[in-house]
A and B are shown apart, each in its own frame.
Chain A
Amino acid sequence: MTRGKLLALLPPILFGISFLLAWETFVVVRDIKPYLLPKPSAIWGQFHGNFELIRKATQVTGTNAFIGLLLGVALGSITAFVASRFKALSELIAPTAIAVSAMPIIVLVAIFNDLFSITSEIPRRLMVTVVVFFLVFINVSKGLSQADATQLELMRSYGAGEAEIIRKVRVPHALEFFFVALRQAAPLAVVTAFVSEYFGGLQNGLGSRISQSIANSKDAAGWAYVSGACLLGLSFFVLSIVLERGAMPWKARRSSR
């Protein structure tokens, strides 16, 4: 990292620290009760003390989110690809996908829970897959169909066949849209895996732990689990950015200018 980049990190870090300090001071000075708002130092204490439990719960939710994300991204991309080759298919799926993306489909997890055994991780993973699938499908379809008109005419002027046009124009173009989708889908996968836990099924993930802690008046512990959820969401987001930089170096060079 260069000196300039390190300097750029300074303001957000300073802001974060002063925010935590202000919070701590506010709770102490105004004597806020812990069940309303615990102190950051208490949350940190709980985080530290329950680290193993938090790590396990994060791992459960994280694995569900990750497997769902992987399946959703794979199925969404493949379907978009197939649909782009068969107009009838895309005319069938595209409106459905757009309609579905406007619905709170997360409630489907209640139905998935009924379909599988009570000790199964599948319903939550399935839920993440469904949510991610539509997001990826819509974006990749758009990317595959909206290639630059001049580039397409050029390829035809070279006598290029449809397969070459897909490989050299449509896929690189869709890559950008793919990563736009992934950047949204990665944190969304965590949110979905997390919220899915509120609809019953196994009680071993972050979502369940948070509601249990709050219900048992262990508020600081609840907040410690919330911190775990925040870290999980962030790490998924960072992962998507790292992948994007790796897959599209020309883009990274451009935005760093």
Chain B
Amino acid sequence: MSDFAVDVAGVSMVFNQGRPNQVGAIDDVSLAVRAGEFISLIGPSGCGKSTMLRLIANLIEPTSGTITVNGKAAAQARLDGDYGMAFQQAGLFEWRSVARNVELPLELKSWDRARRRERALEMLRLVKLDEFADHHPWELSGGMQQRVAIARALSFSPGLLLMDEPFGALDEMTREHMQTELTRICAETDCSVVFVTHSIPEAVYLSQRVVVMSPRPGRVAAIVDVDLGDRSDDTREASEFFKKVTEVREALRGFDRDDRINALDDR
């Protein structure tokens, strides 16, 4: 049971239930993430992938179904600090230095000052930003800020990373660099990751499994297994990589076509 980092069972999420603007965001999704596994959630806007991530993080409660994180109820896992989170916006606190940003979760967990500082520097070394420890966030580029956010998410050794399009606002070069860095960091820290993205190559490059979601309401349309071995820049040019990209793209097209047919039927 607790071999699973995340276990989502029969989860549905309806916003504004019973009101005229009721929206079914997630419909009966079941999904398990093995310990140490990297999975991506991919799909068009409105397919509920970010909602799914927030449900796992217990930032919102599902309408029905159960979510287990590290073998505990999601709410308990959140309070226990079982996962770290990163968003599209780095969300750094501009009044804190880079190191003190990384220390923030540790402050909330009442670590003493010396230990906090030591761990923050260790994490900054991991993301190769230790020489910027005493800088302020605005002195860093977007990619560097995002690396600080990742260091912060990992600072309390959570074992599970929940990431919501963390590289979405970065340029293509920085983005590929960050992907390589993330796979290295995950290998070094043994982290499980649930990664939301709308970039197909990104999902394939990073993941062991790509979960393709369909919109309105959000469902799991397909799960594509990816086995590309250790990732490197050569991986991006391997024919197996392109085969998987095509496979994910076709899975995404499948329901897109169904959607269009449905739309025609509706007329």
Q: Of the 9-residue stretches A71-79, A137-145, A148-156, A185-193, which lies at the interface with chain B?
A: A148-156
Within 8 Å of chain B (Cβ to Cβ): is A2?
no
Asked whether B91 lies within 8 Å of A154 as measured between CB atoms, the reply is yes
Q: Which residue of A lies closest to B88 (CB)?
A: A150
Asked whether A151 lies within 8 Å of B91 as measured between CB atoms, the reply is yes
Asked whether A160 lies within 8 Å of B78 as measured between CB atoms, the reply is no
- Chain A residues whose C-beta falls within 8 Å of the C-beta of B221 in the assembled complex: none
Residue of B81, B89, B95, B138 touching A159 (CB-CB under 8 A): B81
- Chain A residues whose C-beta falls within 8 Å of the C-beta of B89 in the assembled complex: 148, 150
Within 8 Å of chain A (Cβ to Cβ): is B85?
yes
- Chain B residues whose C-beta falls within 8 Å of the C-beta of A153 in the assembled complex: 54, 59, 85, 87, 91
- Chain A residues whose C-beta falls within 8 Å of the C-beta of B108 in the assembled complex: 155, 158-160, 164, 168
Q: Of the 9-residue stretches A52-60, A226-234, A247-255, which lies at the interface with chain B?
A: A247-255
Within 8 Å of chain B (Cβ to Cβ): is A172?
yes
CA of A253 to CA of B134, assembled, Å? 13
CA of A154 to CA of B91, assembled, Å? 8
Contact residues of B between 93 and 111, Cβ < 8 Å to A: 93-96, 104-105, 107-109
- Chain B residues whose C-beta falls within 8 Å of the C-beta of A158 in the assembled complex: 81, 104-105, 108-109
Within 8 Å of chain B (Cβ to Cβ): is A256?
no
Residue of B79, B91, B109 touching A150 (CB-CB under 8 A): B91
- Chain A residues whose C-beta falls within 8 Å of the C-beta of B94 in the assembled complex: 250
Within 8 Å of chain A (Cβ to Cβ): is B203?
no
Contact residues of A between 127 and 181, Cβ < 8 Å to B: 148, 150-151, 153-160, 164, 168-169, 172, 175
- Chain A residues whose C-beta falls within 8 Å of the C-beta of B90 in the assembled complex: 150
- Chain A residues whose C-beta falls within 8 Å of the C-beta of B87 in the assembled complex: 150, 153-154
Asked whether A172 lies within 8 Å of B59 as measured between CB atoms, the reply is no
Residue of A154, A160, A172, A175 touching B85 (CB-CB under 8 A): A154
Contact with A along B229-242 (1 / 0, CB 8 A): 00000000000000
- A157-B57, A158-B108, A159-B79 are known contacts. Are A250 and B95 too (CB-CB below 8 A)? yes
List 22 interface pairs A-B (beta carbons < 8 Å), by A numbering: A150-B90, A151-B93, A153-B54, A153-B59, A153-B87, A154-B87, A154-B91, A155-B108, A157-B78, A157-B84, A158-B81, A159-B78, A159-B80, A159-B81, A159-B108, A168-B107, A172-B93, A175-B95, A250-B95, A250-B96, A254-B136, A254-B138
What 8 new A-B contacts, CB under 8 Å, besides A157-B59, A157-B78, A250-B96?
A148-B91, A157-B162, A158-B81, A158-B105, A159-B79, A159-B108, A250-B136, A253-B136
Those 10 A-B pairs whose CB atoms lie nearest each other, nearest first: A150-B91, A159-B79, A150-B89, A157-B85, A172-B95, A150-B87, A158-B105, A158-B108, A250-B95, A151-B91
